[in-house]
Amino acid sequence: MREPLAGLLLKRTWVYEDASAPVPAYTDGLRIYINPQLFFNYDPDERTAIMLHELMHIMLKHVPRGEAVKRVRNVPHIVVNIAADVKANQYIDTRWFKLPKDVITAWTVAGLLDKSVSEVERLSFEELVDLLSKYSQYIVQHFRLYQTGDLREVPSPTSPGRVLNEGDPGDEGASGEELERRVERKVAEVVMTARLAGALPGWAERALKEILKPKINWRKVLRFAISKGLGKKVRRTWSRPSKKVPEMFPGKDFLKLNKVLALVDVSGSIDDKTLTRFLSEVYWAAKEAAEVIVIAWDAKVQGEFTIRRPSDVRRIKITGRGGTLIRPALELAEKKYGGNSLWVIFSDWEVGDLTSAEPVLRRNARRVIAVTTYRKPPSYLPIVIEVEQ
Residues 108-118: tens digit of each pLDDT? 899 889 999 99
| 315 SS3 class | helix
Q: Which 8-state DSSP code applies to residue 365?
A: G
For residue range 171-218, list pLDDT tens digits in order. Answer: 988 887 788 888 888 887 887 777 666 667 777 777 776 665 554 566
Q: Which of 275, 268, 348 is nearest to 313 (CA)?
A: 275
Q: How far is CA 176 from the centre of its chain?
A: 13
| 186 SS3 class | helix
pLDDT average, residue stretch 226-232: 64
φ, ψ of residue 124 to 5 degrees: the values are -80, 170
Triad 23, 27, 30: Cα angle to 5°: 165
| 144 SS3 class | coil
Write b or e for each residue in 210-234: b if 16 or more Cβ atoms lie within 10 A of its Cβ, otherwise e: bbeebebebeebbbbbbeebbeeee
Q: Which of 299, 353, 336, 291 is nearest to 321 (CA)?
A: 299
Assigned CATH for 218-386: 3.40.50.410
Residue 82 half-sphere exposure toward CB, CA atoms < 13 A:
30
Domain boundaries, the chain: 4-212, 218-386
Q: Which of 70, 89, 76, 73 is nearest to 143 (CA)?
A: 76
For residue range 249-279, list pLDDT tens digits in order. Answer: 555 544 445 688 999 999 999 988 888 888 8
Q: State residue 140's pLDDT score.
A: 75
For residue range 29-52, list pLDDT tens digits in order. Answer: 999 999 999 999 999 999 999 999
Q: State residue 157's pLDDT score.
A: 56
Percent of the chain with pLDDT over 70: 81
Q: State residue 239's pLDDT score.
A: 52
Q: State residue 316's pLDDT score.
A: 86
Q: How far is CA 196 from the centre of its chain?
A: 32
282 membership: H or E segment, kind and range:
helix 272-288
Q: State residue 256's pLDDT score.
A: 47
Whether the Cβ atoms of residue 27 and residue 150 lie closer than 8 Å to each other: yes
For residue range 52-76, list pLDDT tens digits in order. Answer: 999 999 999 999 888 878 876 778 8
Integer Cα distance of 162 and 378 in angstroms: 35
Residue 153: pLDDT band (50, 70, 90) is: low
Q: Which of 326, 320, 322 is nearest to 353 (CA)?
A: 326
Integer Cα distance of 381 and 23 in angstroms: 32
Whether the Cβ atoms of residue 13 and residue 21 lie closer than 8 Å to each other: no
β-bridge mates for residue 312, sequence order = none
Contacts of 265 (CB under 8 A, 6+ apart): 278, 297, 298, 324, 326, 345, 346, 347, 348
Q: Is the pLDDT assigned to residue 155 strictly greater than 60?
A: no
Strand pairing category for 257-265 and 342-347: parallel
Q: How many CB atoms lie within 10 A of CB 20?
A: 11
Q: Is the model's pTM score more than 0.85?
A: no
